[in-house]
Amino acid sequence: MQAPQAALLLRIYTEEGRFHEHRPLYEYIVVKAREKKLAGATVLRGPMGFGVRATIHTAKIADLAAKLPLLIEIVDSEEKIRSFVAELDMVEELGLVTLEKVEVVHYGSAPTQ
């Protein structure tokens, strides 16, 4: 087991229907995180949620065009995450962005090719 390391967890709460530079916002963020060589990024799709406007978005069958909530999570060193967040300042309608100090207790090895 590796020794725990201090890190920062970036969470971006957004929704499916948001775009930036003619592509889905979540895709833009994940690709940008990869370009910046961050440790990794995960996009989670929520079946229900609401945000600042208090409009409930849900995955009910009658609402197939719903703009479901998305959560983007990225963990890396505090320096790299804060630098990445600064680059996202120019993104309009990004959504709620939070930072949380975490400990990384294990980071899987890269697959062999």
Out of 3.40.50.720, 2.150.10.10, 3.30.70.120, 1.10.240.10, the CATH code matching 5-104 is 3.30.70.120
What whole-number distance in Å separates Cα of residue 24 and Cα of residue 12? 14
pTM (whole model) above 0.85: no
Domain boundaries, the chain: 5-104
Q: How high is the mean pLDDT of the chain?
A: 86
Query: Strand, coil or helix: what is 59?
Result: coil
| Cβ pair 10, 84 in contact under 8 A | yes
Taking only the tens place, the pLDDT of each residue in 69-95 is 999 999 999 999 999 999 999 998 899
